[in-house]
Amino acid sequence: MLFWLFIILVSLFGFVLLFGAPYLPTTKRQVRASFELLELKEGQTFLELGSGDGRLLLAGAKQGLRCVGYELNPLLVIVSIIVTWRYRKQVTIHWGNFWNGDLAEADGIFVFLLDRYMEKLDKKVQSECAQGTKLVSFGFKIPHRKVARTEHGVRLYIY
Ligand SMILES: C[S@@+](CC[C@H](N)C(=O)[O-])C[C@H]1O[C@@H](n2cnc3c(N)ncnc32)[C@H](O)[C@@H]1O
């Protein structure tokens, strides 16, 4: 029984490697830095690509933002729905692959991915988002794109 539980958990957390970064949560300091850099106003839309356990969606909802997350791992989707339940009118969590999602509605985007996805992400944001859309990336740089500001390892890009 424990063996099968282990296999299921490894599969759920492991299969995302085919599409993006594995689960590793952002710390409080970087969550705070991300929202400080984004400077979003109440009612604006915050989009998180790979929303993990929902901690950024919760932080955004507490600031009055409309929050949208994409997450592949169904266990993390359930956890994040529970975590953000109090703000359910403001928060939408899609169980799915963000590469298939539409980013056009975003005023601000958060990502914590891996180097190898940053160029593909840059193209997607550039083709789908309005001019002035802000993107913060924890840990990983977008190649050849100018960084507007950096705080605690979080980089801000303005498209
Ligand atoms: C490094 S973790 C970051 C989690 C969360 N954003 C945070 O900062 O605390 C990356 C997350 O993205 C999810 N993920 C990876 N590729 C994805 C994809 N293509 N579509 C949706 N979610 C994805 C993983 O399951 C994981 O939860």
Q: To test ligand 1's pocket by mutation, which of 10, 12, 16 has the most ligand atoms within 8 angstroms of CB?
A: 16
pLDDT above 70 as % of the chain = 99
The predicted pLDDT at position 146 comes to: 96
| DSSP code for 69 | E
Residue 63 has pLDDT above 80, yes or no: yes
Which residue among 73, 80, 84, 95 is best mutated to probe the pocket of ligand 1, counting the most ligand atoms within 8 A of its Cβ?
73
pTM of this prediction? 0.93
Distance of alpha carbon 115 from alpha carbon 133, whole angstroms? 21
Evaluate the CA torsion angle 84, 86, 88, 91 in order and state its sign: negative
Per-chain mean pLDDT for the chain: 94
Question: Does 25 contact ligand 1 (Cβ within 6 A)?
Answer: yes
How far apart are alpha carbons 128 and 26 in whole angstroms?
A: 26
Place of tokens 């539409």: 102
At residue 156, the 3 state secondary structure works out as: strand
> Six-digit token pair at 98?
């963000």
